Structure 1
Amino acid sequence: MAENRRFILQRRPSGTPAAEDFALVSEPLPELADGQFLIRNHYASLDPAMRGWMDDAPSYMPPIPLGTPVRASTVGEIVASKSAEFPVGAWVSGLNAIEEYSIGMAGGFSQIVDISIVPSPTNFLSVLGAVGMTAYFGYLEVCQPKPGDVVLVSGAAGAVGSLVGQIARIKGASKIIGIAGGPEKCARLIERYGYDAAIDYRGKSVDQLTAAIAAEAPDGVNAIFENVGGDILDAELNNLAMHARIGLCGLISEYNNPGEKTGARNIWQLIVKRATMQGLLVADYVPRFGEGITEMAGWLREGRLVFDEHVDEGIDNALPAFLRLFSGTNDGKMILKLS
């Protein structure tokens, strides 16, 4: 019987996850029940949200139970099936775990994907997966773009942020400003992703960040796509245009904070500028993924979108690959090749 290697959460992290929080185990594959199918996971998506799932805290999804594999989106091939809807040989993407094999069920989280329409199956974990749909629906539905907007994106060189800036261009923004860490990422924002301006947040205080944003947007910012939080969000709040819209996608600067969360201190500016800040979760738009994938795929064919993927290999490299998200050493959507 085949063995299944699984990346197990064995202790809840305090601050930055450590090797002692996890275990790599091999377990025999169970027999399939009627309606189930066996997925050979080829790739797993590594995302900042996974850090929150490791905590025993209220969230939009239950915490990962200790002793079970770390939850993750995967793409892979069906190698055995007792479901007529999911035949052997089909490729599927869905929410599974960092493990070499996952068991799916008809009516569950997996959906069949056509890998013949993309250069790599990994694209269903990046531009045509939850990442791309987060950028697409988060910007269009939550930020409510208007022609001529001045748009600001934090975490702009990341998998989601890099796409948001390009979608903003397609939808008629007059100026797109990105915030990223380090000169290389700032250069990539302009040279590859089409941003008009890039601000390096490293080494800057809230006041310095406030001034840097104001220099690029003297009349304020109309739409903000927020991925970082902390001091960056505080500086953004100091630069709102009247009736600005903020889409709150993530707060990556606080995910590994073992103490109390800092929170935003300039919320008062929402009142001053009659602005709105709304949380966004891509799960709300799953029924509309077909719509988003169709339009994003069209933009790709037309050469209006570019994207990058950073693929590390081996399930035994799961932790260092995951930690790249917080050190900023990944160049594109972080993906782990399992097979």
Structure 2
Amino acid sequence: MSAVTSTRVVLAARPHGEPTTDNFRIETAQVPSPADGQLLLRTVYLSLDPYMRGRMSAAESYAEPVEVGDTMVGATVSQVVESRSPRIEPGAYVLAYSGWQSHALVDGNAVRVLDPDRAPLSTAVGVLGMPGFTAYSGLLKIGRPQPGETVVVAAASGPVGSAVGQIARIRGARAVGIAGGPDKCAFVRDELGFDAAIDHRAPDFAEQLKAAVPDGIDVYFENVGGAVTAAVLPLLNLYARIPVCGLVSQYNAASMPEGPDRLPGFMGLVLTKSLTIRGFIQSEFVQAMYADFERDATRWIGEGSLKYREDVVDGLENAPTAFLGMLHGKNFGKLVVRVGPERA
């Protein structure tokens, strides 16, 4: 097969503070035929996730940054165009980590084959993929909700937060979601079945949250940080658990926040309320929990107790704008870019 032309989105420059479209550049490049053991992939769906903002920075983190000039990273659902792997046939669909590009060469051992008849292909980067597993592992391993307890989750209409609240309900806990705007709150409450949903943009947000948790908060699943966390902290119960999944409100900060140092007060709260706070990256739980997650999540979706919503954007060229909007909460559900048709 002759070389394939791939369109890709590269990191043009590292952002200082809030990123803009100038931090991205669209290029084309030739992708050669695969060598032994490799696959040539055609991207169908690209997942856009908040962690990608951290990969644009050179600051020390849990993963290596994207280098300037390199393709932006990301999980994809792709179809195999050409295979030199003995275990994967052309035409198969795979979950890969091939990034923001229309075509890619990958190692055949680095992908997971998907069954398109089992579930919609896009769910492999959503409710049945990394976001769903993040919710499952962080809540059950760190949050450990018990029947009758109260679980609060920020960004509750998003792919992680929506799953956290529903899994909490499945485990017999109360679920209180925090979301941005009346439409998202109505979705969280009326469609996902949370016990309450609070709009963090409301002027009396802190008072509404307090009223929604009359018995306090036993588990706070942290996705946001900032003002939302400040409203949650006084409501935490003795022995409350806080899985720290993300801090999206702080990702674009270019300097320390103004005002007094709140760390001593926070540490005093950790001590007096015997809080458990643990940051995590979902990959650390994959070996121990992923098989259970796939079994449980597939069953819950079939039963209707785990619902999901996707926000699909068409065209790889629209990925930068969609990503920037996500950092401001403009997406409604799991943000996915449809790069190409499911069937070539």
TM-score normalised by L of structure 2: 0.93
**Counterpart residue type for residue 94 of structure 1:** A
Aligned to 1:230: 226
Correspondence 1:1-339 to 2 at 5 A = 1-108=3-110, 110-118=111-119, 120-173=120-173, 175-204=174-203, 209-260=205-256, 265=263, 266-287=266-287, 288-339=289-340
CA gap 1:264/1:7 in 2 versus in 1, 3 angstroms: farther
**Counterpart residue type for residue 338 of structure 1:** V
Contact 2:33 2:40 in 1 (8 A): no
Q: How much does 1:325 deviate? A: 1.1
**Counterpart residue type for residue 86 of structure 2:** A
Contact 2:301 2:307 in 1 (8 A): yes
CA gap 1:245/1:228 in 2 versus in 1, 3 angstroms: same
**Counterpart residue type for residue 300 of structure 1:** I
Q: How much does 1:106 deviate? A: 3.4
Q: How much does 1:290 deviate? A: 2.6
Q: Which runs of 5+ in 1 are unaligned?
A: none
Report the Cα distance in structure 2 between the residues aligned to 1:56 and 1:48, rounded to whole angstroms.
16
**Counterpart residue type for residue 196 of structure 1:** D
Q: How much does 1:188 deviate? A: 1.2
SS in 2 for 1:92: strand
Q: How much does 1:73 deviate? A: 0.5
Q: How much does 1:285 deviate? A: 2.3
Contact 1:221 1:244 in 2 (8 A): yes
SS in 2 for 1:237: helix
**Counterpart residue type for residue 320 of structure 1:** T
Report the Cα distance in structure 1 between the residues aligned to 2:25 and 2:137, rounded to whole angstroms.
36
**Counterpart residue type for residue 153 of structure 1:** V
SS in 1 for 2:131: helix
CA gap 1:264/1:185 in 2 versus in 1, 3 angstroms: farther
Contact 2:44 2:339 in 1 (8 A): yes
**Counterpart residue type for residue 298 of structure 2:** A
Contact 2:186 2:197 in 1 (8 A): yes
Q: How many residues align?
A: 333
Q: How much does 1:328 deviate? A: 1.8
CA gap 1:188/1:320 in 2 versus in 1, 3 angstroms: same
Report the Cα distance in structure 1 between the residues aligned to 2:277 and 2:165, rounded to whole angstroms.
19
- Which stretch of structure 1 is more off in the superposition, 228-237 or 62-71? 228-237
- Listed one character per residue, the Cα deviations across residues 184-204 of structure 1 (whole Å, up to 9, x for unaligned) are 111111101111111111154
Report the Cα distance in structure 2 between the residues aligned to 1:170 and 1:159, rounded to whole angstroms.
17
TM-score normalised by L of structure 1: 0.94
CA gap 1:239/1:113 in 2 versus in 1, 3 angstroms: same
Q: How much does 1:93 deviate? A: 0.5
SS in 1 for 2:7: strand
- Listed one character per residue, the Cα deviations across residues 182-229 of structure 1 (whole Å, up to 9, x for unaligned) are 11111111101111111111154xxx5443322222332011111000
- RMSD after superposition: 1.6
**Counterpart residue type for residue 243 of structure 2:** G
Contact 1:237 1:270 in 2 (8 A): no
Report the Cα distance in structure 2 between the residues aligned to 1:84 and 1:273, rounded to whole angstroms.
56
Contact 1:74 1:95 in 2 (8 A): yes
